[in-house]
């Protein structure tokens, strides 16, 4: 037997949570899985799409709180996101098709932990944290890097659900997002990247953030490389060095695969180009 619940409030929702729970936050992955024969019998399906509290973006003290069931399209249209985390707007704009952007949600994208998630690099760019609530109503926060263990696996326990995502405002940063798919629309990312940079008046780097998605099993921010760049000017040598290091690291993590021959040089080229564009 399959149970299906469609709560109207978070409180109501928590009551339905069981060990066999499956969430629908937009259904853009789950419906496809179902069609492929994914077995949901004996599961409790909780449809989160009719909980108004779970949708929307709040701005609190230099931070944005994006509720879990905010759709990609809502994010694209949201003024605060556009202002504070442009990279996320850009990323959500590239997700699937208009239909998918109208249904798919940021919380769903994080929860399924797909390596090809488009919002993920942008969220990580801004020190993204996952806000989690359990059946008892207890809340906890976890950094995105820690939350996602491997493709499709997170630290979310059976009695928990994602409530929202908190990201830092990067309003003063120059930001960019870049995606390579097999076509311009209706394509998941083969590679995606997010970058943000804040410069000092003397044209040295005050802060820089570099994230690589899709090519890796888990989206990664390159803290070590970022740190070494602070205080430096963006010279040709620096650009060459950084793009080389990142592509080498990606290869080391992902291991040589059939597609590496294409992906590794392209990662290097794209990082190179994004850094150059940041400089201008």
Partner 1 sequence: MDFKVVGTSQTRWDAEAKVTGKAEYTRDIPMHNLLYGKVVRSKIAHGRVINYNLEEALKVPGVIKILTADDVPEHTYSTAGHPHKLNVKFQDKKDTNIFTRRVRYFGDAIGAVIAETELAAEIAVNKIKIDYEQWPFYLNSTDALQPGAKEIHDGSGNLVADTTNEYGDVDKAFKEAKYVFEDEYHTQTVQHCHLETMVAYAYKDVDNRWVCISSTQIPHICRHILGDAFNMPFGRFRVIKPFVGGGFGNKQDIVIEPLVMAMSMAVDGKPVVLEMTREELFVCSRVRHANDYKMKIAIDENYHITGIDMDVLSQNGAYTSHGHTIALVGEEAAMELFNVENFRARSRTVYTNTAVGGAMRAYGTPQAAFALNSLAGKAARELGIDQLEFQMKNVPKSGELCNGTQVMFFTSELSECLRVGRDSFDWVKRNEDCKKFNLDNSDRKRGLGVGTLIYATNTKPHSPSIESSGCRLILNQDGSVKMMIGATEIGQGSDTVLAQMAAEVLGISYDNVYVDKYTDTDVSPFDPGSFASRQTYVSGMAVKKAAEVLKVKILEAYILFTPLYSEIDLDLVDGYVVFKKTGKKLESLGDLALKTYYDFHKGNCLTADVSINCQTTAYSGTACLAYVEVDTKTGKVEILDIMNVHDAGKIINPMLASGQVEGGMAMGIAYGLGEELLYDYNNGKPLNNNLLDYKMPTCMDVPDLKVAFVEPIDPTGPFGNKSLGEPPLSAPAPAIRNAVANAIGLEINSIPLTPQRVLETLNK
Stretch that binds partner 1, among 52-60, 185-193, 194-202, 210-218 (CB under 8 A): 185-193
CA distance 25 to 188: 19
Give 95's strand partners. none
Q: Which is nearer to partner 1, 183 or 227 (CB)?
A: 183
Collapsing DSSP to helix, strand or coil, 190 comes out as: strand
Q: Residue 103 Cβ, how far from partner 1 at the closest point, in Å?
A: 15
State the number of CA atoms in the 13 A half-sphere of 210 facing the CB.
27
Q: Residue 269 Cβ, how far from partner 1 at the closest point, in Å?
A: 3
239 interacts with partner 1 by CB under 8 A: no
9 interacts with partner 1 by CB under 8 A: no
Contact 112, 29 (CB under 8 A): yes
272 interacts with partner 1 by CB under 8 A: yes
Sort residue 144 into left (φ over 0), alpha (ψ -120 to 50) or beta. Answer: alpha
Among 12, 146, 261, 277, binds partner 1 (CB under 8 A): 261
Contact 10, 51 (CB under 8 A): yes
40 interacts with partner 1 by CB under 8 A: no
Q: Which is nearer to partner 1, 19 or 39 (CB)?
A: 39
Sheet holding 220-221, edge to edge: 174-181, 189-199, 205-212, 220-221
Distances (CA, A) of 196 to 86, 126, 169, 177, 261: 10, 9, 11, 9, 27
Query: Site residues for partner 1, window 161-180 (CB under 8 A)?
Result: 180
Among 185, 237, 248, 257, binds partner 1 (CB under 8 A): 185
186 interacts with partner 1 by CB under 8 A: yes
Q: Residue 195 Cβ, how far from partner 1 at the closest point, in Å?
A: 16
Contact residues toward partner 1 (CB under 8 A) are 32, 180, 182-187, 259, 261-262, 265-266, 269-270, 272-273
């Amino acid at each position: 037997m399959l149970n299906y619940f469609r709560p109207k409030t978070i409180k109501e929702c928590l009551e339905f949570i069981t060990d066999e729970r499956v969430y629908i936050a937009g259904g853009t992955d789950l419906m496809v899985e179902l069609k492929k024969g994914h077995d949901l019998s004996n599961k409790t399906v909780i449809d989160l799409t009719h909980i108004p509290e779970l949708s929307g973006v709040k701005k609190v003290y230099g931070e944005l709180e994006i509720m879990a069931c905010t759709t990609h399209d809502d994010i694209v249209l949201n003024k605060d996101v556009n202002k504070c985390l442009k990279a996320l707007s850009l990323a959500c704009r590239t997700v699937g098709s208009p239909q998918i952007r109208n249904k798919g949600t940021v919380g769903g994208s994080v929860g399924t932990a797909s390596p090809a998630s488009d919002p993920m690099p942008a969220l990580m760019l801004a020190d993204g944290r996952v806000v989690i609530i359990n059946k008892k109503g207890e809340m906890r926060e976890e950094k995105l890097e820690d939350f996602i263990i491997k493709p499709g696996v997170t630290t979310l326990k059976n009695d928990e659900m994602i409530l929202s995502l908190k990201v830092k405002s990067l309003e003063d940063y120059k930001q960019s997002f870049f995606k390579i798919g097999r076509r311009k629309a209706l394509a998941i990312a083969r590679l995606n990247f997010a970058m943000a940079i804040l410069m000092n008046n003397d044209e040295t780097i005050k802060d820089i953030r570099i994230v690589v998605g899709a090519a890796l099993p888990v989206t990664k921010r390159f803290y070590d490389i970022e740190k070494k760049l602070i205080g430096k000017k963006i010279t040709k040598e620096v650009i060459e060095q950084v793009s080389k290091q990142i592509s080498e690291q990606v290869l080391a993590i992902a291991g040589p695969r059939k597609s590496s021959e294409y992906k590794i040089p392209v990662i290097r080229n794209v990082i190179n180009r994004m850094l150059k564009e940041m400089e201008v």
